Structure 1
């Protein structure tokens, strides 16, 4: 048995090594590859993806899992969970022909470059064919699995176990019922708070400020780095090598502040996976929804609070001069102004999940055959008008704004909304044990970070989202707290 465990660990190490190399290529692709280099890099990603596929579906690997399962009672908890996760992954990919798996990996790598150029040129037509190909691959892969029921529910469950269209339809219906009328009421008051925050800051100063904020909230820059990309993201090579990106607009300095804090939340999670699972397949977030709960917790619960800015401005060594002329209330209301925008990552906290609802409805429509790819700009703009009351003037501000579809992340967007829900449920539990406001005012975020590490981060994938929420809050996912939080917060801000 000991020999089998050693062999299993060697195979897992090889798989993780390939995954780490893929991560580095992905980092390069999204941060510094010249446009002329996309083709070769895409082929390299395809080749490495095929190596990962071949290893995971090999007779030797499958036999090893079978042998270990026969003596499951002799396995430790971590190895049992790894095998459970591997079985799920193998069921998904072994039915896909190897050449199609490689082709899809190359396609999604190449598509990111096509998307970036299309967005720059405001040219959806040039991106539409590759986007259609990506959606068609996803449909085909689900059909290979011969899963009964709705295609989209199967995809959603891959990102968040137990999630399906029925549950999300109920959540978004409740969100629409409660938040859209509140948004209309706020808009009718026509109160502007953010004008004093629209000062100009050059990119170099914004970068210094972003790094200061990362250190302040607890991201370790000795084991991580902050770079720049067209769309902010977090990528993990290992818990000692966690890479974040943000983006800078000189006229909108708070854009980089919140994309940095958001990605910092992801990064803090990755840096604090438990050492006992760091070399296993469990060294990752419990789910995409739980991962987003951490980024949204840091971005909104912490970063958009009065107390955070009171503590930060009193303690930080690097700050924008313009902030010294503003009151704390002016900063707080400015960063929380409700102003329906075209861009999701710039959205205020109240309207953010409405952006996700739009993408959810579009993905559902494409996969069901209700919507055609060529009609997406028109469909997108119609939903923006219906839910947010604004219509993008160009596709780069609309259907082309997000990188996710070009990466093949169909079904990922609902994770952001679920992350919002999880984050508020987690907040309620944390408040019972920690004086969060006091800690933020004193500029002492260590207790908050420690609580999150002990309750969530250290477990990685060892516990499921459901197990984590029951352990932390005593109940499963409950969207009511999130909706009530939004209503309470924004009614107070807008009197």
Structure 2
């Protein structure tokens, strides 16, 4: 990576040193401090922890606003003698500091404090099943993001600015088109499934499994797919997530349900997909801002591969079902075939994280539409419970009985993840497209899974996606790994093949 030009080398060392300081703060604040807050911190620690997080955010703001950093970036920007990673590093740094430094520092630190307190209020409101306890905080969060959209800028729709934070170049116009297309596809396939005459029992998983058993099972699942416990750990929290301080320190948080083993299984597989992505990033990229996932959508795509394409496949359970029954003997009377059909049962539900693979996209569309309307002043925060319930009744035919299973079910808004849900659109598409490319190169994924060869799948993902970190943009990485631009056909074909088999539909 070294250059022969002495001035160039000196400037590059200076830039990396500045970036390393940013990473120290960024990963400590967003990963380690946040992980402790949502897993171990006692209730009374919130006020002081909020002050600490606000202070660290202010210091991070200062580093991103440093004139030395801007000077170094300017030195390398547009140079023809840069290596690819240097160009990528400069672009990544500019993208980060433009988002942070465009917000007035006082406003930014106030927002961090707001988020730190809002998450606890969300937890309390969810336990109380009372949206009104959280609404005042959400109103301030929504107002913050309306202001951020103006600071960040947009061409057509203020919500474009928020989507762009997570997925560069993606717009409301694109997502609207995709949402309508997927909505029509899901509705048509749902209609065929309802008319199939195939009935999958509702109570297959009404089996009490102790939490300790489920924790052991989650650990075995993660080991099986390639998660390295010497470079990571598994914990329990209110909401599943994955937090990385470096490729060698990745924290997975999952949830369990004593009366439904699927909750822990698929939350763990989902987060496990993210975890092995984070762990397999080339550690040499630390200190360049590139030892990160290329985008949130691509990370979610990896999660969907392990949760659904692998985790709900017949092949995976051919090799792993015996282990599940050994750890959870309560499942010994449920046959492997019934288990496979049961985990692929299509039935509209209230909770996004518990949704079947097919109707899941409707949960995302609902959240996307609500966020877009909030930012565009078409609905008010006070109207959310009614709007949420109406959309669930219209799209999925189900209606929440309480706010805990309705508008309060996700932590995203309390944590400040406005504009994140469109990433799930890209996630579903990229997951299927990557697997299709993989199969062209190393053979049937289902056969590899049935033979227990997850190491080959992991290696393909590591070589083609994970190890590159953020050197390539999502668009570049998709084309590099699959040989073509992002297409919807692979996801549609995957769903059709899956559910035509499960529900014995006529392909004609």
Instruction: Place the TM-score, normalised by the shorter chain, in its bin.
Output: over 0.9
Superposed displacement of residue 187, structure 1? 4.1
Contact 1:209 1:318 in 2 (8 A): no
Give me the TM-score of the superposition, normalised by structure 1.
0.96
- CA deviations on 1:203-223 (whole Å, 9 max, x unpaired) are 111111110111011101111
2:121 aligned residue (114, 118, 121): 114
Which residues in structure 2 correspond to 1:241-260 (within 5 Å)? 241-260=249-268
Specify the alignment match of 2:3 in structure 1: none
* RMSD, aligned α-carbons: 1.6
Q: Following superposition of structure 1 onto structure 2, how do residues 156-235 of structure 1 map, counting pairs within 5 Å?
A: 156-187=163-194, 189=197, 191-235=199-243
Q: 1-side partners of 2:400 and 2:325: how far apart?
A: 39
- List per-residue Cα deviations over 1:459-479 (Å, max 9, x = no partner): 111111111121222221112
Mapped pair 1:104 → 2:127 = no
Q: Which residue of 2 aligns with 1:63?
A: 71
After TM superposition, the structure 1 = structure 2 runs for residues 73-472 of structure 1, keeping only pairs within 5 Å, are 73-187=80-194, 189=197, 191-314=199-322, 318-435=326-443, 436-472=445-481
TM-score (norm 2): 0.94
Q: Deviations over 1:111-149 (max 9, x none)?
A: 111101110001101111111111111111221234332
Contact 2:385 2:403 in 1 (8 A): yes
**Structure 2 counterpart SS, 1:112:** helix
Alignment: residue pair count: 494
Distance 2:472 2:153 in 1: 28
Q: How many Å separate the matches in 2 of 1:210 and 1:191?
A: 29
Q: Are residue 5 (structure 1) and residue 6 (structure 2) matched?
A: no
Q: Which runs of 5+ in 1 are unaligned?
A: none
**Conserved 8 A contact 2:350-2:406:** yes
SS at match of 2:80: helix
Distance (whole Å) between structure 1 residues aligned to residue 213 and residue 171 of structure 2: 44
In 1, Cα distance between equivalents of 2:100 and 2:315: 47
Q: Is the 8 A contact 1:195 1:334 kept in 2?
A: no
What does the per-residue CA deviation read over 1:424-469, in whole Å, with 9 as the maximum and x for residues that have no partner?
1111111112232222111121000000001100111111111112
Is the Cα contact below 8 Å between 1:315 and 1:443 reproduced in 2? no
Aligned equivalents of 1:195, 1:129: Cα separation in 2: 39
SS at match of 1:104: helix
The answer on whether the counterparts of 1:384 and 1:391 sit within 8 Å (CA) in structure 2 is yes
Q: Distance in 2 between matches of 1:275 and 1:54?
A: 26
Gaps of 5+ in 2: 1-6
d(CA) in 1 for partners of 2:73, 2:176 = 38
Indicate if the aligned counterparts of 2:154 and 2:160 stay in contact, CA closer than 8 A.
no
Tell me: CA distance 1:466–1:116, structure 2 relative to 1, closer, same or farther (3 Å).
same
Q: In the aligned structure 2, how far is the partner of 1:265 from the partner of 1:181?
A: 30
For residues 334 and 137 of structure 1, what CA distance do their matches in structure 2 show?
A: 43
